[in-house]
């Protein structure tokens, strides 16, 4: 893939993969170091962590930081420490002042990217969760600026755009009047499988954990829906606390995630109908107000709700800034980690 991008006709790739499939790991632990070894300047920007910031300022801050020694190592280390993607986290962006204060962040970004363009060894932009810029403040200007800058430097700048919402990512690249219409070649990230588990299981064995079996590792990977992020948290928990059983480590991880992100406090503030709506939207395939949603409430042993009651639950979650609409206009949970955590808890979260 890197050969096709850096040496081929395509200036950009559009990489889709479901949430927690390992896109960020792939970018920072595989693509970035390989590109850097070949002499390419690499800049990584996570638009999820700064969704409330001006994306011009967000990417500009990364461009400025990328010139410092150890930039990629720091990004990879943050990933290994499981600094999870939480909406709004890291949204404050400190952009260094420049000599011409009348220039906008978009102007400064275009200037810095132009100076990084190198036809011999193109600079690689890794733009993670790019679909978030569509709703960010200044998002439309950012998209137009970035597209124009990339067009002016087709040989000196290359980009990989990733997204966990295929609908929202496609909307940026498929709308006929959009600046990025048909700009990036589409690539679908294949889920990690047995080889990944083998590698991580070898780490456990090398650390001295002999009581953990390959069957344990396979069961945990399956439990987490083949999510590299969750599975790696389990591996690290087992290595740090070798006396834990496999299932104890898994429960501890889910408790850690709840504590780190305040999910227990969040649930405490929700009434049962709102908790049920949260779980319904986490499941993701029932809609929020139709017959399937009503049937799901009945499956849980809850009173069958009216459409107005379902709407009221949606509105309550929206007021708490927990929801957004996808490209098809369907309500979804803004925090994908919350959605996954809710699925792990299942019906247990329905009880106040």
What pLDDT is stored for residue 309 in this prediction?
Answer: 92
pLDDT band of 18, cuts 50, 70, 90: low
What's the average model confidence in pLDDT over 175-188? 78
Q: Residue 51 and residue 336: Cα distance in Å, rounded?
A: 14
pLDDT at position 5: 80
Rounded distance, CA 82 to CA 223, Å?
19
**Residue of 104, 173, 115, 177 whose CA lies nearest to 145:** 104
pTM of the entire predicted model: 0.69
| Domain residue spans of the chain | 2-188, 194-261, 263-350
351 has pLDDT over 60:
yes
Look at residue 186 in the predicted model and tell me its pLDDT: 78
Pairing of the two strands 123-128 and 331-333: unpaired
pLDDT score, position 74: 76
Residue 270: the pLDDT is 93
Cβ(54)–Cβ(145) below 8 Å: no
What does the pLDDT look like over 199-239, one tens digit per residue?
889 888 888 887 888 999 999 998 887 888 788 889 989 99
What is the Cα–Cα distance from 329 to 310, expressed in whole angstroms? 16
Within its chain, how far is the Cα of 81 from the centroid?
15
Q: Cα 149 to chain center, whole Å?
A: 25
Q: Which residue has the higher pLDDT, 327 or 146?
A: 146
Architecture of domain 263-350: Orthogonal Bundle (1.10)
Contacting residues for 263 by C-beta, under 8 A, at least 6 apart: 257, 338, 341
Report residue 20's pLDDT band, with 50, 70 and 90 as the boundaries. low
Q: Alpha-carbon distance 10 to 64, whole Å?
A: 26
pLDDT > 90? residue 44: yes
Question: What confidence tier does 158 reach under pLDDT thresholds 50, 70, 90?
Answer: very high
Mean pLDDT of the chain: 82
Q: How far apart are CA 64 and CA 53, in angstroms?
A: 16
User: 277 near 310, Cβ under 8 Å?
Assistant: yes
Average pLDDT rounded to a whole number, residues 335-345:
84
Weakest mean pLDDT among 36-50, 92-106, 242-256, 319-333: 92-106
pLDDT exceeds 50 at position 96: no
Which pLDDT belongs to residue 180?
A: 83
Residues 274 and 266: their CA atoms lie apart, in Å, by: 11
pLDDT at 104: 81
Q: Quick one: pLDDT band at residue 127, thresholds 50, 70, 90?
A: very high
Confidence at residue 160, expressed as pLDDT on a 0 to 100 scale? 92
Residue spans of beta strands (DSSP E) within 242-325: 323-325
Res 92: pLDDT = 37
Question: Is 2-188 in CATH node 3.40.190.10?
Answer: no
Mean pLDDT of the 236-256 span: 89
Unique residue bearing structure tokens 């999820």? 48
Confidence of residue 87 (pLDDT cuts 50, 70, 90): very low
- The most confident of the ranges 14-23, 69-78, 103-112 is 103-112
In the numeric block, which tokens belong to residue 131? 């679909």
Cα dihedral: 67, 72, 77, 78 (round 10): 70
Q: How many CB atoms lie within 10 A of CB 67?
A: 11
């Amino acid at each position: 893939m890197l050969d096709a991008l850096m040496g081929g006709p395509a200036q950009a790739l559009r990489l889709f993969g479901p949430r927690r499939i390992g896109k960020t790991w792939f970018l920072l632990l595989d693509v970035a170091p390989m590109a850097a070894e070949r002499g390419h300047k690499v800049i990584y920007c996570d638009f999820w962590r700064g969704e409330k910031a001006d994306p011009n300022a967000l990417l500009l801050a990364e461009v400025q930081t990328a010139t410092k020694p150890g930039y990629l190592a720091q990004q990879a280390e943050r990933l290994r420490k499981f600094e999870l993607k939480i909406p709004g986290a890291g949204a404050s962006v400190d952009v260094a002042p420049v000599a011409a204060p009348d220039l906008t962040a978009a102007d400064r970004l275009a200037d810095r990217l132009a100076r990084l363009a190198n036809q011999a060894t193109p600079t690689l932009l890794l733009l993670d969760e790019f679909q978030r810029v569509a709703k960010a403040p200044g998002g439309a200007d950012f998209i137009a600026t970035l597209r124009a800058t990339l067009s002016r430097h087709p040989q000196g700048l290359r980009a990989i755009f990733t997204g966990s919402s295929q609908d929202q990512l496609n909307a940026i690249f498929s709308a006929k009047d959009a600046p990025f219409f048909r700009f990036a070649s589409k690539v679908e990230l294949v889920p990690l499988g047995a080889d990944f588990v083998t590698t991580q299981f070898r780490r456990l064995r090398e650390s001295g954990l002999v009581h953990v079996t390959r069957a344990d590792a396979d069961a945990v990977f399956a439990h987490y829906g083949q999510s590299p992020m969750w599975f790696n948290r389990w591996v690290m928990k087992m290595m740090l606390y070798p006396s834990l059983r496999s299932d104890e480590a898994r429960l501890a991880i889910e408790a850690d995630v709840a504590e780190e992100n305040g999910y227990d406090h969040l649930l405490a503030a929700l009434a049962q109908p709102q908790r049920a709506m949260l779980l319904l939207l986490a499941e993701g395939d029932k809609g929020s107000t139709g017959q399937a949603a009503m049937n799901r409430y009945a499956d849980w042993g809850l009173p069958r709700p009216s459409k107005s009651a379902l709407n009221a639950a949606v509105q309550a979650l929206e007021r708490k800034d927990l929801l957004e609409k996808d490209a098809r206009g369907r309500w979804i949970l803004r925090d994908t980690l919350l959605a996954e955590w809710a699925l792990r808890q299942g019906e247990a979260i329905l009880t106040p």
